[in-house]
Amino acid sequence: MTQRLPSATRLAISPAVDDASSDVEWRVSDAPVAYEDALSFMEERAAAIRSSTAPECIWLLEHPPLFTAGTSADPAELMNPRGFPVYEAGRGGRYTYHGPGQRVVYVMLDLEKRGKDIRCFVHSLEGWMIAALKELGVEAHRAEGRIGIWVGEGPGEQKIGALGVRVKRWVTLHGFAVNVAPDLAHFGGIVPCGIAEFGVTSLSELGKQIPMTGVDASLKRGFQPFLNELKRRCKES
């Protein structure tokens, strides 16, 4: 199957060093990608992965300003005073913002050969995000009862990363997003992931002026450890 790719998308060399990741294709888009194009690509690639006609894929990109609605989205949590487009995402979760300055990571992996355990997959994705942020100088963590990745403590705790996945015939779609240097005012158009008590932050807001290429490099270095952790957790579950 030959897939149509959004413009300004280039192939990135995988940091793979062994069989666990050497066949995974990495793509990086230099210009914002329309959300419809991203959904179309993921659906086509997931079907191709399932039929063994295309490799698994990690896609790093940004979107124009928009909101996505997960399967649990509550219309009361969408204010949208700026009139950004809103898309039904088909993933789990509630409302999420995407926009320039945010690194979106779409993860298309075959869980049939990587453990067939969605809980382990999500936990390992969180660990990948936390490890990448630590390498970039930010201590982040999971929060009991709250989806996403967080920084700080107590009332000042803030969200720096969001997750939302879908699994179709044991192939994963969607993934996670890390706030690098987005316009944080844009998050005011929703209740992010249904959590109103805490704010949203970014690497830039925390004083980490890191180019997107630096974030990408950290994510790539953490990919093999992510796969190792996924394999280990699935064996133990």
Determine the 3-state secondary structure of 23 from DSSP.
coil
- Given 57, 120, 193, 234, the catalytic residue: 193
Q: Within 10 A of 172 (CB to CB), how many other CB atoms are there?
A: 25
- In angstroms, the Cα distances linking 114 to 166, 167, 186 are 16, 13, 36
Q: Which amino acid is it at 30?
A: D
Residue ranges of alpha helices (H) inside the chain are 35-50, 118-135, 212-221, 223-236
CA 117 from centre of chain: 18
Q: Within 10 A of 75 (CB to CB), how many other CB atoms are there?
A: 8
Catalytic, 234? Answer no
CA 37 from centre of chain: 16
Distance CA 193, CA 31 (A): 26
* DSSP codes joined into one string, 81-122: TT---EEE--SSSSEEEE-TTEEEEEEE-BTTTTTS-HHHHH
> Which of the residues are catalytic?
193
